[in-house]
Amino acid sequence: IPLAFEGAAMLAVFATVTITCLSNLAVALYILNAGTFLAPRDTFGMIISLINLLAFFIAAAYWYAYRDSAESQVPAAPLKKWFTAVSAATRKIPARHFQHEEYFAPFDWLRADTIALIALVGAAAVLRSWHLGHPAEIVFDEVHFVGQARHYIHGEPFLDPHPPIAKLLIAAGILMFGDHSWSWRLGNALLGTAMVAVTYLLGRRMFRSRLAAALAAGLIACDGFFIVDSRIGCIDIVYLTLAAIAYLLLFRFVDTPDLIRRRRLLLLVGMVLGLCLGSKLYVPGITFLLVSAFLLFTIWRAAETVDELAGYSSRTKAWPMRFRWTAGAALIIGSVSGMFYLASFLPHYALGWWGGIADLLHYYKDVMWYENSVARATHPYASPWWSWPLMLRPVAYWQNFPEHGNVALIWGGGNPLTWWAVVPAMIITGVRTMERPNLALIFMVTGFLAYYLIWIPIGRILFLYHYLPSLYIGYLALAAILADMWHGKAETWESFTLLLSMMVVVIIGVGHIASEYRLVAEPAQTAVGLLLAAVLLILYMLLIIRHARADRFVFAAFLSLAVALFIYYLPIWLGTPISRTGYYARMWLQGPGLLNWI
Protein backbone atom coordinates (compact mmCIF):
# COMPACT_ATOMS: atom_id res chain seq x y z
CA ILE A 1 0.00 0.00 0.00
CA PRO A 2 2.74 2.60 0.75
CA LEU A 3 4.24 1.96 -2.71
CA ALA A 4 0.93 2.95 -4.31
CA PHE A 5 1.64 6.54 -3.32
CA GLU A 6 5.17 6.66 -4.76
CA GLY A 7 4.16 7.09 -8.39
CA ALA A 8 1.65 6.39 -11.14
CA ALA A 9 3.22 3.01 -12.01
CA MET A 10 2.93 1.68 -8.49
CA LEU A 11 -0.60 3.04 -8.21
CA ALA A 12 -1.52 1.01 -11.30
CA VAL A 13 0.11 -2.09 -9.80
CA PHE A 14 -1.80 -1.57 -6.57
CA ALA A 15 -5.08 -1.21 -8.47
CA THR A 16 -4.32 -4.40 -10.42
CA VAL A 17 -3.60 -6.41 -7.28
CA THR A 18 -6.76 -5.08 -5.65
CA ILE A 19 -8.99 -5.90 -8.63
CA THR A 20 -7.60 -9.41 -9.07
CA CYS A 21 -7.91 -10.16 -5.35
CA LEU A 22 -11.51 -8.99 -5.35
CA SER A 23 -12.16 -11.11 -8.45
CA ASN A 24 -10.78 -14.17 -6.70
CA LEU A 25 -12.96 -13.48 -3.67
CA ALA A 26 -16.01 -13.06 -5.89
CA VAL A 27 -15.33 -16.39 -7.59
CA ALA A 28 -14.80 -18.11 -4.23
CA LEU A 29 -18.05 -16.65 -2.90
CA TYR A 30 -19.89 -17.82 -6.01
CA ILE A 31 -18.52 -21.35 -5.57
CA LEU A 32 -19.52 -21.44 -1.89
CA ASN A 33 -23.04 -20.23 -2.63
CA ALA A 34 -23.63 -22.27 -5.80
CA GLY A 35 -21.91 -25.43 -4.63
CA THR A 36 -20.41 -25.87 -8.11
CA PHE A 37 -16.64 -25.98 -8.40
CA LEU A 38 -14.87 -24.79 -11.52
CA ALA A 39 -12.59 -27.00 -13.55
CA PRO A 40 -9.08 -27.49 -12.15
CA ARG A 41 -7.60 -25.75 -15.21
CA ASP A 42 -10.20 -23.01 -15.57
CA THR A 43 -8.76 -20.47 -18.02
CA PHE A 44 -10.33 -17.38 -16.45
CA GLY A 45 -9.18 -18.27 -12.95
CA MET A 46 -5.65 -19.06 -14.11
CA ILE A 47 -5.34 -15.77 -15.99
CA ILE A 48 -6.57 -13.77 -13.01
CA SER A 49 -4.15 -15.60 -10.69
CA LEU A 50 -1.20 -15.04 -13.04
CA ILE A 51 -1.97 -11.32 -13.31
CA ASN A 52 -2.19 -11.12 -9.53
CA LEU A 53 1.16 -12.86 -9.04
CA LEU A 54 2.83 -10.76 -11.72
CA ALA A 55 1.65 -7.51 -10.14
CA PHE A 56 2.78 -8.71 -6.72
CA PHE A 57 6.28 -9.55 -7.98
CA ILE A 58 6.56 -6.18 -9.73
CA ALA A 59 5.73 -4.43 -6.47
CA ALA A 60 8.19 -6.63 -4.55
CA ALA A 61 10.94 -5.94 -7.08
CA TYR A 62 10.28 -2.20 -6.89
CA TRP A 63 10.49 -2.27 -3.11
CA TYR A 64 13.68 -4.36 -3.16
CA ALA A 65 15.36 -2.05 -5.65
CA TYR A 66 14.61 1.11 -3.65
CA ARG A 67 14.37 -0.12 -0.07
CA ASP A 68 17.61 1.77 0.70
CA SER A 69 16.75 4.70 -1.52
CA ALA A 70 17.75 7.15 1.21
CA GLU A 71 21.35 6.23 0.26
CA SER A 72 20.72 5.59 -3.45
CA GLN A 73 21.61 7.94 -6.27
CA VAL A 74 18.93 6.69 -8.69
CA PRO A 75 15.58 6.48 -6.95
CA ALA A 76 12.26 7.20 -8.64
CA ALA A 77 11.47 10.89 -9.14
CA PRO A 78 9.42 11.70 -6.02
CA LEU A 79 11.36 9.29 -3.84
CA LYS A 80 14.64 11.03 -4.49
CA LYS A 81 13.47 14.32 -3.04
CA TRP A 82 11.57 12.78 -0.16
CA PHE A 83 14.08 10.18 1.02
CA THR A 84 17.11 12.43 0.54
CA ALA A 85 15.39 15.14 2.56
CA VAL A 86 14.46 12.75 5.33
CA SER A 87 17.95 11.28 5.41
CA ALA A 88 19.40 14.78 5.73
CA ALA A 89 16.92 15.54 8.47
CA THR A 90 17.89 12.51 10.50
CA ARG A 91 21.62 13.21 10.15
CA LYS A 92 21.80 17.00 10.42
CA ILE A 93 18.64 18.25 12.06
CA PRO A 94 17.89 17.73 15.76
CA ALA A 95 14.87 15.53 16.38
CA ARG A 96 12.83 18.34 17.87
CA HIS A 97 12.77 20.19 14.51
CA PHE A 98 11.40 17.17 12.71
CA GLN A 99 8.70 16.52 15.26
CA HIS A 100 6.33 18.63 17.31
CA GLU A 101 7.92 21.47 19.20
CA GLU A 102 7.14 19.86 22.57
CA TYR A 103 9.33 16.78 21.97
CA PHE A 104 12.93 16.94 22.95
CA ALA A 105 16.30 15.28 22.67
CA PRO A 106 16.49 11.54 23.43
CA PHE A 107 15.62 10.63 27.02
CA ASP A 108 18.43 8.30 28.03
CA TRP A 109 17.74 5.00 29.75
CA LEU A 110 19.52 4.88 33.11
CA ARG A 111 20.08 2.23 35.75
CA ALA A 112 17.32 3.91 37.75
CA ASP A 113 14.88 3.05 34.96
CA THR A 114 15.86 -0.61 35.09
CA ILE A 115 15.53 -0.74 38.87
CA ALA A 116 12.16 1.02 38.84
CA LEU A 117 10.81 -1.16 36.05
CA ILE A 118 11.90 -4.41 37.72
CA ALA A 119 10.45 -3.32 41.08
CA LEU A 120 7.11 -2.24 39.58
CA VAL A 121 6.71 -5.32 37.41
CA GLY A 122 7.72 -7.58 40.28
CA ALA A 123 5.14 -6.01 42.59
CA ALA A 124 2.48 -6.21 39.88
CA ALA A 125 3.29 -9.87 39.21
CA VAL A 126 2.92 -10.76 42.88
CA LEU A 127 -0.39 -8.90 43.21
CA ARG A 128 -1.78 -10.53 40.08
CA SER A 129 -0.56 -14.09 40.64
CA TRP A 130 -0.80 -14.60 44.42
CA HIS A 131 -3.34 -17.39 44.99
CA LEU A 132 -4.56 -16.88 41.43
CA GLY A 133 -6.71 -19.99 41.62
CA HIS A 134 -8.76 -18.59 44.51
CA PRO A 135 -11.67 -18.94 44.43
CA ALA A 136 -11.60 -22.33 42.71
CA GLU A 137 -14.93 -21.69 41.02
CA ILE A 138 -16.53 -19.54 38.34
CA VAL A 139 -16.44 -15.81 39.21
CA PHE A 140 -18.99 -13.34 37.80
CA ASP A 141 -18.74 -13.16 33.97
CA GLU A 142 -16.35 -16.11 33.88
CA VAL A 143 -19.59 -18.04 33.49
CA HIS A 144 -19.73 -16.61 29.96
CA PHE A 145 -16.11 -16.25 28.90
CA VAL A 146 -14.62 -19.41 30.41
CA GLY A 147 -17.63 -21.30 29.09
CA GLN A 148 -17.01 -19.89 25.62
CA ALA A 149 -13.33 -20.80 25.84
CA ARG A 150 -14.41 -24.38 26.55
CA HIS A 151 -16.70 -24.22 23.50
CA TYR A 152 -13.67 -23.35 21.36
CA ILE A 153 -11.73 -26.28 22.81
CA HIS A 154 -14.59 -28.73 22.19
CA GLY A 155 -15.55 -27.27 18.81
CA GLU A 156 -19.07 -26.30 19.91
CA PRO A 157 -20.64 -23.26 18.16
CA PHE A 158 -21.99 -20.45 20.34
CA LEU A 159 -23.16 -16.85 20.09
CA ASP A 160 -21.30 -14.02 21.77
CA PRO A 161 -21.17 -10.39 20.61
CA HIS A 162 -17.52 -9.95 21.57
CA PRO A 163 -14.76 -10.90 19.11
CA PRO A 164 -12.63 -13.97 19.95
CA ILE A 165 -9.13 -12.82 21.05
CA ALA A 166 -9.70 -12.64 24.82
CA LYS A 167 -11.61 -15.93 24.92
CA LEU A 168 -8.92 -17.63 22.83
CA LEU A 169 -6.39 -16.47 25.44
CA ILE A 170 -8.45 -18.18 28.15
CA ALA A 171 -8.72 -21.30 25.98
CA ALA A 172 -4.93 -21.32 25.49
CA GLY A 173 -4.39 -21.41 29.25
CA ILE A 174 -6.80 -24.33 29.61
CA LEU A 175 -5.21 -26.24 26.72
CA MET A 176 -1.68 -25.80 28.09
CA PHE A 177 -2.28 -26.42 31.79
CA GLY A 178 -5.65 -28.11 32.11
CA ASP A 179 -9.08 -26.83 33.07
CA HIS A 180 -8.24 -25.19 36.40
CA SER A 181 -9.28 -21.86 37.86
CA TRP A 182 -5.70 -20.56 37.83
CA SER A 183 -5.05 -21.70 34.26
CA TRP A 184 -8.02 -19.89 32.75
CA ARG A 185 -6.91 -16.72 34.60
CA LEU A 186 -3.21 -17.00 33.83
CA GLY A 187 -3.29 -15.15 30.50
CA ASN A 188 -5.03 -12.16 32.05
CA ALA A 189 -2.56 -12.11 34.95
CA LEU A 190 0.34 -11.98 32.51
CA LEU A 191 -1.26 -9.23 30.44
CA GLY A 192 -2.17 -7.26 33.55
CA THR A 193 1.45 -7.44 34.67
CA ALA A 194 2.66 -6.42 31.22
CA MET A 195 0.37 -3.38 31.36
CA VAL A 196 2.40 -2.02 34.27
CA ALA A 197 5.64 -2.28 32.29
CA VAL A 198 4.00 -0.68 29.25
CA THR A 199 2.67 2.15 31.43
CA TYR A 200 6.15 2.93 32.75
CA LEU A 201 7.56 3.09 29.22
CA LEU A 202 4.59 5.16 28.09
CA GLY A 203 5.02 7.62 30.97
CA ARG A 204 8.67 8.15 30.04
CA ARG A 205 7.69 8.90 26.45
CA MET A 206 4.79 11.19 27.26
CA PHE A 207 6.21 13.21 30.16
CA ARG A 208 10.00 12.87 29.89
CA SER A 209 9.97 12.13 33.61
CA ARG A 210 11.01 8.99 35.43
CA LEU A 211 9.02 10.03 38.48
CA ALA A 212 5.83 10.52 36.45
CA ALA A 213 6.41 7.18 34.73
CA ALA A 214 6.92 5.38 38.04
CA LEU A 215 3.85 7.02 39.57
CA ALA A 216 1.67 6.12 36.58
CA ALA A 217 2.85 2.51 36.61
CA GLY A 218 2.42 2.38 40.38
CA LEU A 219 -1.15 3.67 40.17
CA ILE A 220 -2.01 0.95 37.63
CA ALA A 221 -0.14 -1.74 39.55
CA CYS A 222 -1.93 -0.96 42.83
CA ASP A 223 -5.41 0.05 41.73
CA GLY A 224 -8.01 -2.42 42.90
CA PHE A 225 -10.03 -2.67 39.71
CA PHE A 226 -6.97 -3.28 37.53
CA ILE A 227 -5.81 -5.92 40.03
CA VAL A 228 -9.20 -7.63 40.08
CA ASP A 229 -9.63 -7.62 36.30
CA SER A 230 -6.14 -9.15 35.96
CA ARG A 231 -7.06 -11.99 38.33
CA ILE A 232 -10.30 -13.23 36.75
CA GLY A 233 -11.06 -14.84 33.41
CA CYS A 234 -12.91 -11.92 31.83
CA ILE A 235 -12.04 -9.88 28.75
CA ASP A 236 -11.47 -6.26 29.80
CA ILE A 237 -7.79 -6.43 30.76
CA VAL A 238 -6.94 -7.80 27.29
CA TYR A 239 -8.13 -4.82 25.28
CA LEU A 240 -6.91 -2.40 27.96
CA THR A 241 -3.36 -3.76 27.72
CA LEU A 242 -3.42 -3.75 23.92
CA ALA A 243 -4.69 -0.16 23.99
CA ALA A 244 -1.81 0.82 26.30
CA ILE A 245 0.66 -0.79 23.87
CA ALA A 246 -0.93 1.20 21.04
CA TYR A 247 -0.46 4.43 23.03
CA LEU A 248 3.19 3.55 23.60
CA LEU A 249 3.75 2.91 19.90
CA LEU A 250 2.02 6.21 19.09
CA PHE A 251 4.39 8.24 21.25
CA ARG A 252 7.36 6.22 20.09
CA PHE A 253 6.34 7.09 16.54
CA VAL A 254 6.16 10.78 17.45
CA ASP A 255 9.64 10.50 18.98
CA THR A 256 11.16 8.77 15.93
CA PRO A 257 12.59 11.00 13.16
CA ASP A 258 13.67 8.19 10.84
CA LEU A 259 11.18 7.52 8.02
CA ILE A 260 11.93 3.81 7.64
CA ARG A 261 11.50 3.17 11.36
CA ARG A 262 8.27 5.13 11.29
CA ARG A 263 6.91 2.86 8.57
CA ARG A 264 7.74 -0.19 10.65
CA LEU A 265 6.03 1.40 13.64
CA LEU A 266 2.93 2.00 11.53
CA LEU A 267 2.80 -1.72 10.79
CA LEU A 268 3.13 -2.52 14.50
CA VAL A 269 0.43 -0.01 15.38
CA GLY A 270 -1.89 -1.58 12.82
CA MET A 271 -1.21 -5.04 14.20
CA VAL A 272 -1.85 -4.02 17.82
CA LEU A 273 -4.99 -2.08 16.94
CA GLY A 274 -6.30 -5.07 14.98
CA LEU A 275 -5.77 -7.36 17.97
CA CYS A 276 -7.41 -4.77 20.22
CA LEU A 277 -10.45 -4.62 17.91
CA GLY A 278 -10.58 -8.41 18.07
CA SER A 279 -10.80 -8.42 21.87
CA LYS A 280 -14.04 -6.63 22.73
CA LEU A 281 -17.05 -4.92 21.19
CA TYR A 282 -17.42 -1.11 21.06
CA VAL A 283 -14.55 0.31 23.11
CA PRO A 284 -11.56 -0.75 20.94
CA GLY A 285 -13.16 1.22 18.13
CA ILE A 286 -12.45 4.36 20.15
CA THR A 287 -8.86 3.17 20.64
CA PHE A 288 -8.50 2.73 16.89
CA LEU A 289 -9.87 6.19 16.08
CA LEU A 290 -7.91 7.89 18.86
CA VAL A 291 -4.50 6.42 18.02
CA SER A 292 -5.02 6.68 14.26
CA ALA A 293 -6.09 10.32 14.47
CA PHE A 294 -3.03 11.36 16.49
CA LEU A 295 -0.71 9.38 14.22
CA LEU A 296 -2.12 10.99 11.10
CA PHE A 297 -1.94 14.43 12.68
CA THR A 298 1.72 13.82 13.52
CA ILE A 299 2.46 12.75 9.95
CA TRP A 300 0.61 15.74 8.53
CA ARG A 301 2.71 18.07 10.68
CA ALA A 302 5.97 16.29 9.87
CA ALA A 303 5.47 16.71 6.12
CA GLU A 304 5.93 20.46 6.47
CA THR A 305 9.54 20.03 7.57
CA VAL A 306 10.28 17.61 4.75
CA ASP A 307 8.76 20.05 2.25
CA GLU A 308 11.16 22.74 3.41
CA LEU A 309 14.20 20.45 3.24
CA ALA A 310 13.20 19.20 -0.20
CA GLY A 311 12.84 22.72 -1.54
CA TYR A 312 9.05 22.96 -1.62
CA SER A 313 8.57 26.54 -0.46
CA SER A 314 5.12 27.14 -1.89
CA ARG A 315 2.15 26.20 0.24
CA THR A 316 0.35 24.99 -2.85
CA LYS A 317 3.00 22.31 -3.31
CA ALA A 318 2.87 21.23 0.32
CA TRP A 319 -0.63 19.82 -0.03
CA PRO A 320 0.32 16.81 -2.24
CA MET A 321 3.12 15.82 0.16
CA ARG A 322 0.87 15.97 3.19
CA PHE A 323 -1.92 14.21 1.39
CA ARG A 324 0.28 11.36 0.16
CA TRP A 325 1.94 10.75 3.50
CA THR A 326 -1.29 10.96 5.46
CA ALA A 327 -3.33 8.86 3.04
CA GLY A 328 -0.59 6.25 2.81
CA ALA A 329 -0.33 5.98 6.59
CA ALA A 330 -4.11 5.73 6.90
CA LEU A 331 -4.14 2.87 4.42
CA ILE A 332 -1.34 1.07 6.25
CA ILE A 333 -3.04 1.35 9.64
CA GLY A 334 -6.48 0.52 8.28
CA SER A 335 -5.44 -2.44 6.16
CA VAL A 336 -3.09 -4.06 8.70
CA SER A 337 -5.50 -3.63 11.60
CA GLY A 338 -8.31 -4.95 9.40
CA MET A 339 -6.28 -8.04 8.52
CA PHE A 340 -5.45 -8.83 12.14
CA TYR A 341 -9.03 -8.17 13.23
CA LEU A 342 -10.37 -10.54 10.58
CA ALA A 343 -7.66 -13.08 11.43
CA SER A 344 -9.04 -13.27 14.97
CA PHE A 345 -12.06 -15.08 13.50
CA LEU A 346 -9.95 -17.76 11.77
CA PRO A 347 -10.79 -20.37 14.46
CA HIS A 348 -14.43 -20.07 13.41
CA TYR A 349 -13.44 -21.17 9.92
CA ALA A 350 -10.94 -23.78 11.11
CA LEU A 351 -13.58 -25.38 13.33
CA GLY A 352 -16.05 -25.48 10.46
CA TRP A 353 -18.55 -23.06 12.00
CA TRP A 354 -18.13 -20.52 9.22
CA GLY A 355 -17.68 -21.12 5.53
CA GLY A 356 -17.35 -17.72 3.91
CA ILE A 357 -17.65 -13.96 4.15
CA ALA A 358 -21.42 -14.23 4.51
CA ASP A 359 -20.95 -15.86 7.92
CA LEU A 360 -18.95 -12.87 9.12
CA LEU A 361 -21.76 -10.56 8.01
CA HIS A 362 -24.26 -12.84 9.71
CA TYR A 363 -22.20 -12.51 12.91
CA TYR A 364 -22.68 -8.73 12.84
CA LYS A 365 -26.40 -9.28 12.35
CA ASP A 366 -26.41 -11.56 15.41
CA VAL A 367 -24.55 -8.89 17.39
CA MET A 368 -27.24 -6.34 16.59
CA TRP A 369 -29.93 -8.83 17.60
CA TYR A 370 -28.15 -9.58 20.88
CA GLU A 371 -27.67 -5.92 21.76
CA ASN A 372 -31.34 -5.23 21.12
CA SER A 373 -32.36 -8.24 23.22
CA VAL A 374 -30.47 -6.99 26.30
CA ALA A 375 -31.39 -3.33 25.87
CA ARG A 376 -33.98 -3.51 28.67
CA ALA A 377 -32.16 -5.98 30.91
CA THR A 378 -31.43 -5.08 34.53
CA HIS A 379 -28.71 -6.04 37.00
CA PRO A 380 -28.21 -5.24 40.70
CA TYR A 381 -24.65 -3.99 40.07
CA ALA A 382 -25.46 -1.86 37.02
CA SER A 383 -24.61 1.84 37.18
CA PRO A 384 -25.16 4.82 34.85
CA TRP A 385 -22.24 6.44 33.09
CA TRP A 386 -22.39 9.69 35.07
CA SER A 387 -21.81 7.84 38.37
CA TRP A 388 -18.51 6.19 37.41
CA PRO A 389 -16.08 9.01 38.31
CA LEU A 390 -17.66 9.03 41.79
CA MET A 391 -17.48 5.22 42.11
CA LEU A 392 -21.01 5.05 43.51
CA ARG A 393 -21.76 1.44 42.55
CA PRO A 394 -18.83 -1.00 42.42
CA VAL A 395 -19.24 -4.63 41.34
CA ALA A 396 -19.12 -7.58 43.74
CA TYR A 397 -17.47 -10.20 41.52
CA TRP A 398 -17.60 -12.95 44.15
CA GLN A 399 -18.86 -13.23 47.75
CA ASN A 400 -18.63 -15.84 50.48
CA PHE A 401 -20.79 -14.88 53.47
CA PRO A 402 -21.26 -17.79 55.91
CA GLU A 403 -23.68 -17.39 58.78
CA HIS A 404 -20.86 -17.01 61.28
CA GLY A 405 -17.20 -16.08 61.16
CA ASN A 406 -15.11 -14.23 58.61
CA VAL A 407 -16.36 -13.25 55.17
CA ALA A 408 -14.61 -12.98 51.81
CA LEU A 409 -15.33 -11.17 48.57
CA ILE A 410 -13.71 -9.93 45.38
CA TRP A 411 -14.69 -6.28 45.16
CA GLY A 412 -14.65 -4.53 41.80
CA GLY A 413 -13.77 -1.07 43.03
CA GLY A 414 -10.68 1.09 43.17
CA ASN A 415 -8.65 2.97 45.73
CA PRO A 416 -11.08 5.72 46.80
CA LEU A 417 -8.40 8.41 46.93
CA THR A 418 -6.79 7.83 43.54
CA TRP A 419 -10.13 7.07 41.85
CA TRP A 420 -11.78 10.27 43.07
CA ALA A 421 -8.61 12.29 42.38
CA VAL A 422 -8.92 11.54 38.66
CA VAL A 423 -11.72 14.11 38.36
CA PRO A 424 -9.64 17.07 39.63
CA ALA A 425 -6.63 15.70 37.74
CA MET A 426 -8.53 15.83 34.45
CA ILE A 427 -9.81 19.33 35.25
CA ILE A 428 -6.22 20.46 35.84
CA THR A 429 -5.11 18.73 32.63
CA GLY A 430 -7.90 20.44 30.70
CA VAL A 431 -6.83 23.86 31.96
CA ARG A 432 -3.18 23.11 31.14
CA THR A 433 -4.21 22.06 27.65
CA MET A 434 -5.91 25.39 27.03
CA GLU A 435 -3.03 27.42 28.48
CA ARG A 436 0.02 25.58 27.08
CA PRO A 437 -1.11 22.73 24.81
CA ASN A 438 1.15 19.89 23.78
CA LEU A 439 0.52 16.51 22.23
CA ALA A 440 0.49 14.57 25.52
CA LEU A 441 -2.03 16.91 27.16
CA ILE A 442 -4.31 16.97 24.14
CA PHE A 443 -4.13 13.18 23.91
CA MET A 444 -5.13 12.70 27.55
CA VAL A 445 -8.07 15.10 27.42
CA THR A 446 -9.30 13.73 24.10
CA GLY A 447 -8.86 10.10 25.13
CA PHE A 448 -10.54 10.50 28.51
CA LEU A 449 -13.59 12.21 27.03
CA ALA A 450 -13.83 9.88 24.02
CA TYR A 451 -13.84 6.74 26.15
CA TYR A 452 -16.26 8.28 28.62
CA LEU A 453 -18.79 10.00 26.37
CA ILE A 454 -19.25 7.00 24.07
CA TRP A 455 -21.50 5.44 26.72
CA ILE A 456 -24.03 8.27 26.86
CA PRO A 457 -26.09 7.16 23.82
CA ILE A 458 -25.85 3.44 24.64
CA GLY A 459 -29.08 2.35 26.28
CA ARG A 460 -28.15 -1.10 27.57
CA ILE A 461 -27.11 -1.77 31.18
CA LEU A 462 -23.63 -0.54 32.01
CA PHE A 463 -21.13 -1.32 34.76
CA LEU A 464 -18.32 0.46 36.53
CA TYR A 465 -15.70 -1.51 34.57
CA HIS A 466 -16.73 0.35 31.41
CA TYR A 467 -14.96 3.36 32.94
CA LEU A 468 -11.55 1.64 33.01
CA PRO A 469 -10.21 3.04 29.69
CA SER A 470 -10.92 6.59 30.89
CA LEU A 471 -9.53 5.76 34.33
CA TYR A 472 -6.28 4.54 32.77
CA ILE A 473 -5.76 7.86 31.01
CA GLY A 474 -6.86 9.69 34.16
CA TYR A 475 -4.11 7.94 36.11
CA LEU A 476 -1.56 9.09 33.52
CA ALA A 477 -2.74 12.67 34.05
CA LEU A 478 -2.70 12.29 37.85
CA ALA A 479 0.86 10.92 37.78
CA ALA A 480 2.07 13.85 35.67
CA ILE A 481 0.51 16.36 38.07
CA LEU A 482 1.97 14.66 41.15
CA ALA A 483 5.42 14.62 39.54
CA ASP A 484 5.12 18.33 38.76
CA MET A 485 4.25 18.96 42.41
CA TRP A 486 7.40 17.22 43.54
CA HIS A 487 9.53 19.16 41.05
CA GLY A 488 7.91 22.50 41.92
CA LYS A 489 6.25 22.95 38.53
CA ALA A 490 2.63 22.83 39.69
CA GLU A 491 0.61 25.94 40.40
CA THR A 492 -0.85 26.59 43.84
CA TRP A 493 -4.45 26.05 42.77
CA GLU A 494 -3.49 22.64 41.33
CA SER A 495 -2.00 21.37 44.58
CA PHE A 496 -4.95 22.82 46.51
CA THR A 497 -7.39 20.95 44.24
CA LEU A 498 -5.74 17.62 45.05
CA LEU A 499 -5.68 18.58 48.72
CA LEU A 500 -9.47 18.95 48.59
CA SER A 501 -9.81 15.41 47.20
CA MET A 502 -7.75 14.13 50.12
CA MET A 503 -9.92 16.02 52.59
CA VAL A 504 -13.07 14.41 51.17
CA VAL A 505 -11.54 10.95 51.58
CA VAL A 506 -10.45 11.72 55.14
CA ILE A 507 -13.87 13.06 56.14
CA ILE A 508 -15.73 10.06 54.70
CA GLY A 509 -13.25 7.31 55.45
CA VAL A 510 -11.69 7.92 58.84
CA GLY A 511 -14.88 7.20 60.73
CA HIS A 512 -15.43 3.89 58.92
CA ILE A 513 -11.84 2.78 59.44
CA ALA A 514 -11.98 3.73 63.11
CA SER A 515 -15.17 1.70 63.54
CA GLU A 516 -13.38 -1.52 62.60
CA TYR A 517 -10.77 -1.09 65.32
CA ARG A 518 -13.15 0.65 67.75
CA LEU A 519 -10.75 3.53 68.16
CA VAL A 520 -13.48 6.15 68.37
CA ALA A 521 -17.05 5.97 69.57
CA GLU A 522 -19.58 5.98 66.73
CA PRO A 523 -21.09 9.44 67.39
CA ALA A 524 -17.61 11.04 67.22
CA GLN A 525 -16.36 9.32 64.05
CA THR A 526 -17.48 12.03 61.62
CA ALA A 527 -16.10 14.70 63.92
CA VAL A 528 -12.69 13.00 63.89
CA GLY A 529 -12.70 12.96 60.10
CA LEU A 530 -13.54 16.66 59.97
CA LEU A 531 -10.81 17.41 62.50
CA LEU A 532 -8.12 15.57 60.51
CA ALA A 533 -9.23 17.28 57.29
CA ALA A 534 -8.96 20.63 59.05
CA VAL A 535 -5.44 19.75 60.21
CA LEU A 536 -4.43 19.01 56.61
CA LEU A 537 -5.83 22.34 55.46
CA ILE A 538 -4.16 24.31 58.27
CA LEU A 539 -0.75 22.73 57.59
CA TYR A 540 -1.10 23.51 53.90
CA MET A 541 -2.03 27.15 54.57
CA LEU A 542 0.89 27.58 56.98
CA LEU A 543 3.30 26.32 54.32
CA ILE A 544 1.81 28.72 51.79
CA ILE A 545 2.17 31.66 54.18
CA ARG A 546 5.81 30.77 54.89
CA HIS A 547 6.53 30.37 51.16
CA ALA A 548 7.55 26.77 51.76
CA ARG A 549 7.03 23.86 49.38
CA ALA A 550 3.33 23.27 50.04
CA ASP A 551 3.11 21.26 46.83
CA ARG A 552 5.60 18.72 48.19
CA PHE A 553 3.52 18.45 51.33
CA VAL A 554 0.47 17.59 49.20
CA PHE A 555 2.58 15.12 47.20
CA ALA A 556 3.81 13.33 50.33
CA ALA A 557 0.42 13.34 52.04
CA PHE A 558 -1.34 12.08 48.92
CA LEU A 559 1.05 9.17 48.39
CA SER A 560 1.03 8.24 52.08
CA LEU A 561 -2.77 8.14 52.20
CA ALA A 562 -2.94 6.25 48.88
CA VAL A 563 -0.53 3.57 50.15
CA ALA A 564 -2.45 3.25 53.44
CA LEU A 565 -5.76 2.78 51.61
CA PHE A 566 -4.16 0.29 49.21
CA ILE A 567 -3.07 -1.88 52.14
CA TYR A 568 -6.46 -1.48 53.79
CA TYR A 569 -8.50 -2.49 50.73
CA LEU A 570 -6.15 -5.18 49.40
CA PRO A 571 -7.92 -8.10 51.19
CA ILE A 572 -11.22 -7.46 49.39
CA TRP A 573 -9.45 -7.18 46.03
CA LEU A 574 -7.73 -10.55 46.52
CA GLY A 575 -10.66 -12.36 48.14
CA THR A 576 -8.85 -12.78 51.46
CA PRO A 577 -11.13 -13.53 54.45
CA ILE A 578 -11.75 -10.61 56.81
CA SER A 579 -14.04 -9.96 59.74
CA ARG A 580 -17.62 -8.86 59.14
CA THR A 581 -16.86 -5.64 60.94
CA GLY A 582 -13.91 -5.08 58.62
CA TYR A 583 -16.08 -5.71 55.57
CA TYR A 584 -18.69 -3.14 56.56
CA ALA A 585 -15.98 -0.68 57.58
CA ARG A 586 -14.65 -0.77 54.01
CA MET A 587 -18.07 -0.13 52.50
CA TRP A 588 -18.00 3.64 52.91
CA LEU A 589 -21.16 4.29 50.93
CA GLN A 590 -24.13 2.25 52.17
CA GLY A 591 -27.08 4.33 51.08
CA PRO A 592 -30.23 3.20 49.28
CA GLY A 593 -30.31 2.51 45.55
CA LEU A 594 -27.29 3.48 43.48
CA LEU A 595 -25.25 4.95 46.35
CA ASN A 596 -24.08 1.59 47.67
CA TRP A 597 -20.67 -0.07 47.78
CA ILE A 598 -22.42 -3.50 48.20
In a domain, residue 525? The reply is yes
Predicted model pTM:
0.84
The reply to whether 93 and 116 lie within a common domain is no
In a domain, residue 31? The reply is yes
Handedness of CA 71, 72, 77, 79 (dihedral sign): negative
In a domain, residue 104? The reply is no
The predicted-structure confidence for 156-186, as pLDDT tens digits, reads as follows 999 888 999 999 999 999 999 999 999 999 9
In a domain, residue 384? The reply is no
The reply to whether 242 and 323 lie within a common domain is yes
The reply to whether 355 and 217 lie within a common domain is yes
The reply to whether 348 and 302 lie within a common domain is yes
User: Which one-letter amino acid corresponds to residue 215?
Assistant: L
User: Which one-letter amino acid corresponds to residue 148?
Assistant: Q
The reply to whether 149 and 237 lie within a common domain is yes
Low-confidence ranges of the chain (pLDDT < 70): 1-18, 20-46, 48-49, 52-53, 55-57, 59-106, 304-320, 518-519, 521-523
Domain count, the chain: 3
Give the burial class of 485: count Cβ atoms within 10 A of its Cβ; 0-12 exposed, 13-18 middle, 19 or more buried: buried
The reply to whether 91 and 161 lie within a common domain is no
Q: Whole-angstrom distance between the N-terminal and C-terminal Cα of the chain?
A: 53
Q: What angle do CA 569, 573, 577 make, to 5 degrees?
A: 85
The reply to whether 125 and 88 lie within a common domain is no
Give the burial class of 457: count Cβ atoms within 10 A of its Cβ; 0-12 exposed, 13-18 middle, 19 or more buried: exposed
In a domain, residue 387? The reply is no
- Taking alpha carbons only, the member of 299, 300, 296, 317 closest to residue 308 is 317
The residue from 44, 63, 98 where one domain ends is 98
Q: What angle do CA 392, 396, 399 make, to 5 degrees?
A: 145
The reply to whether 74 and 178 lie within a common domain is no
The residue from 48, 75, 98 where one domain ends is 98
The reply to whether 93 and 115 lie within a common domain is no
CA 185/CA 233 separation, integer angstroms: 5
The reply to whether 481 and 453 lie within a common domain is yes
Cβ within 8 Å of residue 227, ≥6 positions away: 127, 128, 192, 573, 574
The reply to whether 314 and 460 lie within a common domain is no
In a domain, residue 582? The reply is yes
Handedness of CA 410, 415, 420, 421 (dihedral sign): negative
The residue from 324, 355, 373 where one domain ends is 373
Quote the radius of gyration of the chain (alpha carbons, Å): 27
User: Which one-letter amino acid corresponds to residue 162?
Assistant: H
The reply to whether 333 and 441 lie within a common domain is no
In a domain, residue 92? The reply is yes
Q: Which strand (E) or helix (H) includes residue 398?
A: strand 395-400
Q: Which strand (E) or helix (H) includes residue 529?
A: helix 525-545
CA 214/CA 116 separation, integer angstroms: 7
Handedness of CA 496, 499, 501, 507 (dihedral sign): negative
In a domain, residue 298? The reply is yes
Range of the domain at 545: 408-586
